[in-house]
Amino acid sequence: MNEFDLVLPSEVDVREVGMRDGLQLEAPVPLAAKLEMLEALVATGVRRIEATSFVSPKAVPALADADQVAAELARWPGVHWSALVANERGAVRAVDAGVADLEYVVSAADGHSRANAGRSTAEAVAAVGEIARLAHAAGGSLEVIIATAWDCPFDGRTPIARTVDVARAAVTAGADQLCLGDTIGTTTPLRVVQMLDAVRRACPGIPLGVHFHDTRGTGQANALAAVQAGVTQLDASIGGLGGCPFAPGASGNIATEELVYMLEESGVRTGLDLDALLVAARATERAVGHELPSSLYRAGGRSVPRALDAR
């Protein structure tokens, strides 16, 4: 066993996605409870929050109040807000509501693209240019999130070349930033770094984030591998909210408090406060009315030995 140095960046930039990816499959939460969640999330120190998505209220009733949520965001001027859109119509709505930093999902796998968005990957890519134009005209930016970047529940493994092609096409069409999504929580550390390497080679200079799910217990390990590979933009959801409706009991997104704990205790600054995250998880649990999957939250902040807290 040779000596080994774990090389990590000095800081990372966490994006909180609980308000969108976390809530989208929940029973609709009243606006007042969402604002309590937001208040608690802002208090954690997080600098980037995915506020909502501008999609069909029929498809996602939990986020039917996107305009009302957007109207409240000016309360918290220090935060960088973004919103997800599913098409050009959504982009117009978002910009009109005052959110110009957009996220747009393209599924790298056709099977998931058709099931999720009703069109092929190529058709989804074709919309990037117009959505980017709308964002840029409003003074904002466009991040393309490549869903099923590693695996698809219908098509199986996504070839690296396929995800790379989507990344390259998105950037060519005007995307300012990319994010790779492990939509069904199946990827593993080696595949994470292989994919990151391939996408970076294809899209040099384009900021690249990661979006992991913890469905099979590998989410934090994948995040660690990504951070070792130099990624500094990571999505996470308060309390691990965001489970797949087709896998009851399975964990959803990686939990923000677990990511922050792992990184901060490994010397990587996140700017987020662990105690405030546990308060925000409590507000989230109240809002959704059921237990959250996060192990750290369930273990309880206070069971972290005092001497650790006092560090």
Applying the rule CB under 8 A, the residues between 189 and 208 that interact with its own copies are 189-191, 193, 196-197, 200, 208
DSSP assignment, residue 79?
A: S
Asked whether the CA dihedral 92, 97, 102, 105 is positive or negative, the reply is negative
CB of residue 112 to its own copies, shortest distance in Å: 10
Does residue 249 contact residue 289 with C-beta atoms inside 8 Å? no
Confirm or reject binding of residue 246 to its own copies (CB under 8 A).
Answer: yes
163 binds its own copies (CB under 8 A): no
Q: Which of residues 19 and 231 has its CB atom nearest to its own copies in the complex?
A: 231
Distances (CA, A) of 110 to 118, 147, 194, 238, 298: 10, 11, 21, 30, 37
Q: State which of residues 17, 166, 255, 281 lies at the interface with its own copies (CB under 8 A).
A: 255
Q: Select the residue interacting with its own copies from 66, 147, 231, 241 (CB under 8 A).
A: 231
User: What span, in angstroms and rounded, lies between the C-alpha atoms of 112 and 180?
Assistant: 15
Contact between 151 and its own copies per CB under 8 A: yes
**Of the residues 33, 35, 43, 250, which one makes contact with its own copies according to CB under 8 A:** 250
Does the active-site annotation cover 203?
no
Q: How far apart are CA 83 and CA 81, in angstroms?
A: 7
- Distance in angstroms between the alpha carbons of the first and the last residue of the chain: 31
> Helical H runs in 60-159?
66-72, 88-96, 110-117, 121-126, 128-137
Cβ proximity to its own copies, 120 vs 228, nearer residue:
228
In the range 207-226, which residues lie near its own copies by CB under 8 A?
208, 214-218, 220-221, 223-225
Give yes or no for residue 258 binding its own copies (CB under 8 A): yes
Q: Which of 154, 165, 275, 279 binds its own copies (CB under 8 A)?
A: 154
Q: Pattern 275-304, binding to its own copies, x per CB under 8 A?
A: ----------------x-xxxx-xxx--xx
- Helices marked H in 139-273 — which ranges? 160-172, 189-202, 219-228, 256-264
* Closest approach of its own copies to the CB of residue 40, in Å: 20
305 lies in the binding site for its own copies (CB under 8 A): yes
140 binds its own copies (CB under 8 A): no
Site for its own copies in 69-88 (CB under 8 A): none
Nearest approach, Cβ of residue 264 and its own copies (Å): 8
Asked whether 252 and 214 are in contact (CB, 8 A), the reply is yes
Exposed / middle / buried, residue 219 (Cβ in 10 Å: 0-12, 13-18, 19+): buried
Give the three-class secondary structure for 300: coil
User: Which tokens hold the place of 39?
Assistant: 């208040």
Interface with its own copies: number of residues (CB under 8 A) = 73
CB of 79 to its own copies, least distance (A): 25
Q: Per CB under 8 A, does 306 bind its own copies?
A: yes
Catalytic residues: 244
